[in-house]
């Protein structure tokens, strides 16, 4: 018998990342095949961008891409709603955490200036952590603080897609065209996308979208 796959039920998961969940976050995710695909595709996308950029990673989580940012000579900032996740990042990253401006805050009301960063990175967030309505507010904030590039992870429906409920997570509801429009409405033009996970059961796929600010 094939294992039953869990279909995203549209419930936001934003408030779960504290205490034990934060401590075990990365060790649990390291067992997922697609975690490693996300790492590889992120490193490869970053390789095509200039060195010595300023980057902000929201939500920062355990700072999973920090070693790649360090390799590129980036000046690094991050923000997460959970101080426990930032503490976990500090423990995991060791010396690589030094010099990172890691803050606790809300992605929908960012404590950063307009176009403060060359590059904005956001993974495992807009698709299934916040509601569609909040995701749209967050995208406005991302656009405000990003100057040149963004790498944003989103779900995309490979059939015709449909509009998500405002009070549910987006999951993989939106079609490719709708995702490109959502990003472009926020001045992010998709220039490349990398598949990181397929969810056959809900006709969707998850991509890292590399965008240029227009």
Ligand X SMILES: C[S@@+](CC[C@H](N)C(=O)[O-])C[C@H]1O[C@@H](n2cnc3c(N)ncnc32)[C@H](O)[C@@H]1O
Segment near ligand X (CB under 6 A); pick from 95-103, 117-125, 140-148, 201-209: 117-125
**Interaction of residue 139 with ligand X, rule CB under 6 A:** no
For the record, the structure tokens of 200 come out as 């056959």
Instruction: For residue 142, state whether it binds ligand X (rule: CB under 6 A).
Output: no
Least separation, in Å, of the C-beta of 62 and ligand X?
Answer: 6
Burial readout 112-140 (b: 16 or more C-beta within 10 A, e: otherwise) = beeebbbbbbbbbbbbbbbbbebbbebbe
> Cβ 66 to ligand X, closest distance in Å?
11
Closest CA to 49 of 192, 180, 159, 171: 192
Distance CA 25, CA 36 (A): 14
Query: Smallest distance, Å, CB 75 to ligand X?
Result: 19
Count other C-beta atoms under 10 Å from residue 200's C-beta: 9
Q: Is 82 in the site for ligand X (CB under 6 A)?
A: yes
- Count of beta carbons in the 10 Å neighbourhood of residue 46: 23
Identify which range of 119-127, 143-151, 184-192, 203-211 contacts ligand X by CB under 6 A: 119-127
Binding residue (CB under 6 A) for ligand X from 119, 129, 146, 170: 129
78 binds ligand X (CB under 6 A): no
Q: Which of 41, 84, 55 is nearest to 142 (CA)?
A: 55
For ligand X (CB under 6 A), the number of binding residues is: 16
Contact, 106 vs 138, CB < 8 A?
Answer: no
Q: Which of residues 18-77 bind ligand X (CB under 6 A)?
A: 59, 61, 64
- Any contact of residue 125 with ligand X (CB under 6 A)? yes
User: Crossing angle of helices 176-185/132-145, nearest 10°?
Assistant: 50
* Residue range at the interface with ligand X (CB under 6 A); choices 42-50, 124-132, 162-170, 189-197: 124-132
Residues that bind ligand X in the complex, under the rule CB under 6 A? 14, 17, 59, 61, 64, 80-82, 85, 106-108, 123-125, 129
């Amino acid at each position: 018998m094939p294992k039953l796959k869990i279909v995203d039920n549209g419930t936001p998961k934003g408030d779960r990342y504290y205490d034990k969940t934060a401590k075990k976050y990365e060790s649990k995710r390291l067992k997922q095949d697609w975690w490693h695909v996300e790492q590889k595709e992120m490193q490869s996308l970053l390789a095509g961008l200039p060195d010595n950029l300023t980057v902000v990673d929201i939500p920062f989580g355990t700072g999973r891409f920090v070693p790649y940012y360090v390799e590129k000579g980036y000046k690094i900032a991050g923000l997460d709603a959970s101080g426990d996740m930032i503490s976990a990042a500090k423990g995991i990253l060791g010396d690589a955490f030094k010099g990172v401006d890691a803050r606790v805050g809300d992605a929908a009301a960012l404590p950063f200036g307009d176009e403060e960063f060359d590059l904005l990175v956001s993974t495992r967030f807009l698709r299934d952590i916040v509601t569609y309505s909040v995701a749209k507010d967050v995208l406005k904030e991302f656009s405000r603080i990003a100057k040149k590039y963004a790498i944003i992870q989103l779900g995309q429906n490979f059939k015709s897609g449909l509009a998500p409920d405002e009070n549910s997570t987006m999951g993989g509801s939106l079609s490719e065209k709708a995702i490109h429009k959502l990003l472009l409405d926020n001045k992010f033009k998709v220039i490349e996308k990398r598949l990181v996970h397929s969810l056959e059961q809900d006709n969707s796929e998850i991509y890292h979208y590399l965008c240029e600010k227009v």
